[in-house]
Chains A and B, each alone.
Chain A
């Protein structure tokens, strides 16, 4: 390949990379705006939108609701999903394929279609705006991610280790907790993270099943965006962006350190 072709591909890809990253970053300066406007670039500097996030009960309550739902969903979906992934690994190929296909349907069904159905069912059973309602819907949405993450760990797991433990006299239960579980722990952990993020980010179902009594953060953000130009939205976004960046940087750092040692 000649230099010109290579150079133009590089330039093209650099432009794509900028287009992927830069738009998200515009929320950072907006979050420090002085006036209540979403004009870019903003004038002046203030921290009032960050303060608003914690002082305005509408925002602080939605953050707490979201965290509560996401933590419970992460626990529920990780347990049910991990157990299911273990079951799939022990099943015969044909039924396992069928069950796996069923378990990933939440990723395929368009969000609005399930949201309409869930809303209909929740109205009949008084689940609209309840913790149970959010946890039920979000756990269902998170299951596929846990099954896939744990399944990936299990597929590289050497089953002979279990046989070895058993032949040395360990009970099934002891084998599971001392051999299998520690070895698939990375998969479980990433499933847990995916489940948490799935719930924390979910907006379509939440838009249908929220009530004034209980709103999650994405619903609050959506409502604020459709109502007025409030930079508090940008402050939330910036905090979330910073948190994710720290988690991913820490993951990369630990990952490379472990590889070196």
Chain B
């Protein structure tokens, strides 16, 4: 027992239970998904050929990326001024701003989506406001727009937090220096502040995009047949049509897309770091 807690020694035994749990509850299931995508109903790459040869699937595949992309862009636009404001106010105001970002997390994702269903439904609050202003009623629920609105709200915190972390570290004297040398405010922002805050934008954008690709609940409840995303399609294949091979192939495609993005992001981050270390 003495050696159990001693530094350096036996530390592997301490992480072993966690690794075993992951192997049983995640590694083995994922291996099953990959295996079935290549063997069910018959060995080969038939499921992948099927996926990429059907226009319906390709449309969903493309839509998944488009929706995740739109959500990412909207998150950047909304989070950038918000995170900046967080760096420029007093501590109490900052707590309030953080709380507002975290409130969507206080209720379960399903309930949060219920709130959006209530607001976006055809006779819902938003449509009645639009009609009161004298415009035509628009379809929001069961459309891509509705899904994007709901997802952006849920994912905004993942954009605000990394942005805030980076912006807090920016030395504002650099901006002042640029101003004192005659740069207009807009130019000082574009040339100094914006480039310095880009690592935060990039970090947050990657997280939001990856989480957005795998979203399931919001598209399933707020979208409809016309706004299906890859996750929903994979779920239907497995649960409704018992099509393990085709559903598995979709899962693998989604997983590979996620991993490729992560690898790309990791590489980009490392390169930036090396550039910084090189004194550039």
Contacts and interface: CB of A to CB of B under 8 A. Distances in A.
Interface stretch (A47-55, A56-64, A105-113): A105-113
Contacts of A117: 26, 28-33, 251
B8 A90 contact: yes
B32 A86 contact: no
A68 interface: no
Interface string A84-113: 101110111000000100110110111111
Task: Count chain B CB atoms within 10 A of each CB in A102, A103, A120 and give the residue with the most.
Answer: A120
Interface stretch (B53-61, B113-121, B131-139, B195-203): B113-121
Contact of B15 (A88, A116, A176, A201): A88
A257 B98 CA distance: 20
Nearest to B101: A20
A225 B108 contact: no
A115 B104 CA distance: 24
Contacts of B36: 120
Contacts of A2: 185
Nearest to B5: A172
B136 to A, nearest CB: 21
Interface residues of A, number: 83
A19 B118 contact: no
Interface residues on B, range: 35 or more
A178 interface: no
Interface of A is mostly: helix
B260 interface: no
Contacts of A217: 108
Contacts of B116: 23
B244 to A, nearest CB: 7
B163 interface: no
Given A116-B33, A172-B6, A140 B22 contact: yes
Interface in A114-130: 114-121
30 contacts: A9-B81, A10-B85, A16-B81, A17-B82, A21-B103, A21-B104, A24-B103, A26-B118, A26-B125, A80-B17, A86-B14, A99-B19, A105-B22, A108-B258, A110-B231, A112-B216, A113-B234, A113-B254, A116-B29, A116-B247, A116-B248, A117-B30, A117-B251, A120-B36, A139-B21, A172-B4, A172-B6, A240-B108, A241-B107, A245-B106
Interface of A: 1-2, 5, 9-10, 12-13, 16-17, 19-21, 23-27, 30, 38-40, 80-81, 83-84, 86-88, 90-92, 99, 102-103, 105-106, 108-121, 136-137, 139-140, 143, 147, 171-173, 175-176, 200-201, 203-204, 207-208, 217-218, 221-222, 225-226, 233-234, 236-237, 240-241, 244-245, 248, 252
Given A114-B30, A173-B1, A225-B114, 10 more contacts: A16-B78, A27-B118, A102-B22, A113-B30, A116-B244, A117-B26, A117-B251, A121-B32, A139-B25, A203-B110
